[in-house]
Amino acid sequence: MNLSRKTIVVTGASSGIGAEVVRLARFHGATVVGLDRNDPMLSLDGFVKADLSRPDAIDAAVRELPERFDALVNAAGVPGTVDRDIVARVNYLGLRHLTEAVLDRMPAGGSIVNFASILGGEWAARRDAHKQLAATVGFAAGLDWLAANPVPQETCYQFFKEALIVWTFQRSHELFMQRELRMNCVAPGPVFTPILGDFVTMLGRERVEADAGRMKRPAYGDEIAPAVLFLCSDAARWINGVNLPIDGGLAATYV
């Protein structure tokens, strides 16, 4: 994989899978700028501290990003154990706001990779709601829609990962046709990260034990990062609008 002469912006760069994406991207020759609310714990070519739950903070962060970059990896996210408003803001509305704000900085052939989840796999069951949310324009309009259509706390993580998949499917076609930018999702299963325990709490012991019998083990972050960066590379120049599972085959066991 050759990423030399590419500049990549990675959100959630300070820990977890985002940090693994940073390490591998720099190993393959990319210039990497991280964006996170926490200080970085690894080497970067640039870093912007930002709270992705607030549109004003996102706008301020965008002003500090490079004037041109080739890929955006939206790896930042919070688990469903935090308040549903924060889940909505970080995992969907903030991601969308940041992405739309940087489109003019990305040249033709650029790539956007969004982090969905295996837990977003049932998006079709709520397709109409997700399309309505996707049709809202801007952060504030999205909040207004959610106020009128509240999402239960217990399923908020799944809902916003589903919503992200649907938005990616829809927006990717427009971006590819109008700007020659590609947008895709990756959908990891369980991963050994600092927030793995939050997912055990969120899903409940019974669901976790049922899934454990369907897989070899949770993934390591360095097993997720290569697929993400493949989608950023020129080798994936004709891959657009997909949701790529990276789960050791877990999702396939539900067919």
Catalytic residues: 157
Task: Please check whether residue 218 is in contact with residue 189, taking contact to mean a CB–CB distance below 8 angstroms.
Answer: yes
How far, in Å, CA of 102 to CA of 10, rounded?
Answer: 13
Distance CA 218, CA 42 (A): 23
Q: How far apart are CA 105 and CA 49, in angstroms?
A: 19
| DSSP label of 65 | S
CA dist 93 and 137 (Å) reads 10
Give 54's Cβ-side CA count (13 Å radius): 9
Burial class (CB in 10 A: 0-12, 13-18, 19+), 67: exposed
**Residue matched to tokens 């709490």:** 201
Question: In the beta sheet, which residues pair with residue 34?
Answer: 10, 47
